[in-house]
Structure 1
Amino acid sequence: MSNIGFRVFEDIERPSTELIQGFAGMQAATVGDCMNKMAAIDSSIQRVNKQNLLGPAYTVKVPSGDNLLIFLAIEKAQPGDILVIDGEGCMDRALVGEVLSKWAQSKKLGGFLIDGCIRDYEILSQMKLPIFAKGRTPNGPYRNGPGEINVPVSIGGKVVCPGDIILGDGDGVIVIKPEEAKELQQKVLELQNREEAILEKIEKGKGLDLNWVYEKLNQEHCEFIKK
């Protein structure tokens, strides 16, 4: 019988580099709009430095305040992989600090997305390795286990599966299913073109077309009252 709760699934299916890079330069907000504004993880998980996330999820599930399996995940992950760590939202102990971050950077991993805390903030905030986390605390973690690698995890209210595409910037993080990525990219490009046209009109002093606003107000029977 499988040892549920203490397992490592070593083989995952990653999206192609071409598919992932199709999102390069796209804003999380624009991508999220094209997903009916339902794809962002909770805003409590924020960018630690100014580096953006883009890559496949390499998931890790650990008990509250314990990082034993994170060591193993860094060892086994491939360049470009983003370690998506379900730390149960624990705010009492840091799961990642300077040592693990610099090790991950030396292995050219794609970054950390942590539903939990980091420490050594002053150093991590200056690193080139993208790091998103829920908070920070000087308290260190336990290293006892158990835990699981490459299973579905919960991050900021969203389910993330191994191989999902993670896109994160200053606004937050979007989770994308690889099988939906190609169609989604086309929708994002179309929306970007429409928004660029709108911005161009604003820059030329032509303002915004608010006909749709007045139509909505009329439908809701909004009153306009003058003295």
Structure 2
Amino acid sequence: MTELGVVHRSIERTAPETVEELSGFGVATVHEAQGRTGLLRPYIRPVYPQARLCGTAVTVLLQPGDNWMFHVVAEQIRPGDVVVAGCTTESEDGFFGELLATSFRARGAVGLIIDGGCRDAAELAEMDFPVFSRAINAKGTVKATLGSVNVPVTVANALVHPGDVVVADADGVVVVPRTSAPDVAEAARRREENEVSKRARFQSGELGLDIYGMREKLTAAGLRYLD
């Protein structure tokens, strides 16, 4: 069970060069490159369509309807971090808005992932501060109950450790563990290179049936063509 009321000030972040490399890939590519793991549930959606981010996770565990720990986690943000917020139980209240986004950005944050609600959607879009949330909800929160900062958190069924890499775009959100991030980045690069060659073949009119060698397997499975 996660201890409440603690702030871990020293965390090991993924190397900046690895984060930079992963930032060049989309969520779908990264997810496939690490064996189809690490994907958050699809109810976590961008607050505005152009939202996209890649950075190192600074985690926060919130209490339902209480955003006190967002003010605590702000002090722990370093340039390039993504704040990743879980909650001790389901809550769609508006934990986060334009003022906290202004605070987080001033500390160097590149965005927020939250298994909860946020508000000030128009303002967040205007300032281009990427937020991926469970809901958009005008309902406010209180500041009364302790959570924790920089502890492992479960966010939309994905386990996130401080220092992991988080990639998010219109397709969703994926978490890459710090220890495997260099290998995942290399696998993503190879996957992208492979897709470039396939894209050229598709553009020339070649069929996936032939590119992927599907015809024999389909025949063996019993597929029949009738004229």
Counterpart contact for 2:77–2:108, Cα < 8 Å: no
**Structure 1 partner of 2:222:** 222
Query: CA distance change for structure 1 residues 6 and 222 in 2, over 3 Å: closer, same or farther?
Result: same
Percent identical pairs in the alignment equals 26
1:47 aligns with 2:46: yes
- Post-superposition offset of 1:73: 0.5
**Structure 1 partner of 2:214:** 213
SS at structure 2 position matched to 1:125: helix
**Structure 1 partner of 2:78:** 78
Query: CA distance change for structure 1 residues 186 and 138 in 2, over 3 Å: closer, same or farther?
Result: same
**Structure 2 partner of 1:67:** 67
- Give 4+ residue runs of structure 1 displaced > 3 Å after superposition: none
Is 148-157 or 205-214 further displaced after alignment?
A: 205-214
- Post-superposition offset of 1:194: 1.1
- Post-superposition offset of 1:214: 2.8
Q: Which amino acid aligns with 1:137?
A: N
**Structure 2 partner of 1:129:** 129
State the distance in 1 between where 2:222 and 2:101 align.
54
**Structure 2 partner of 1:99:** 99
Structure 1 residue runs of 5 or longer lacking an equivalent are: none
> Counterparts in 2 of 1:18-37, with a 5 A limit?
18-37=17-36
Q: Which amino acid aligns with 1:178?
A: R
With normalisation by structure 2, the TM-score equals 0.91
Query: CA distance change for structure 1 residues 211 and 193 in 2, over 3 Å: closer, same or farther?
Result: closer
State the distance in 1 between where 2:22 and 2:154 align.
23
Query: CA distance change for structure 1 residues 191 and 4 in 2, over 3 Å: closer, same or farther?
Result: closer
Q: Aligned Cα RMSD in Å?
A: 1.8
**Structure 2 partner of 1:119:** 119
Aligned length: 223
State the distance in 1 between where 2:23 and 2:107 align.
21
- Post-superposition offset of 1:129: 1.7
| Residues 119-146 of structure 1 deviation map (CA, whole Å, 9 limit, x = unaligned) | 1111112222221111111110121121
State the distance in 1 between where 2:132 and 2:225 align.
48
1:14 aligns with 2:13: yes
With normalisation by structure 1, the TM-score equals 0.91
- Post-superposition offset of 1:27: 1.1
Counterpart contact for 2:124–2:130, Cα < 8 Å: no
SS at structure 2 position matched to 1:142: coil
Q: Which amino acid aligns with 1:115?
A: D
**Structure 2 partner of 1:5:** 4
Counterpart contact for 1:47–1:131, Cα < 8 Å: yes
> Counterparts in 2 of 1:165-176, with a 5 A limit?
165-176=165-176
State the distance in 2 between where 1:224 and 1:218 align.
7
SS at structure 1 position matched to 2:190: helix
SS at structure 2 position matched to 1:6: coil
State the distance in 2 between where 1:217 and 1:202 align.
20
State the distance in 2 between where 1:216 and 1:158 align.
35
State the distance in 2 between where 1:185 and 1:4 align.
33
Counterpart contact for 2:18–2:185, Cα < 8 Å: no
Query: CA distance change for structure 1 residues 7 and 199 in 2, over 3 Å: closer, same or farther?
Result: same
- Post-superposition offset of 1:8: 1.0
Counterpart contact for 1:89–1:134, Cα < 8 Å: no
**Structure 2 partner of 1:182:** 182
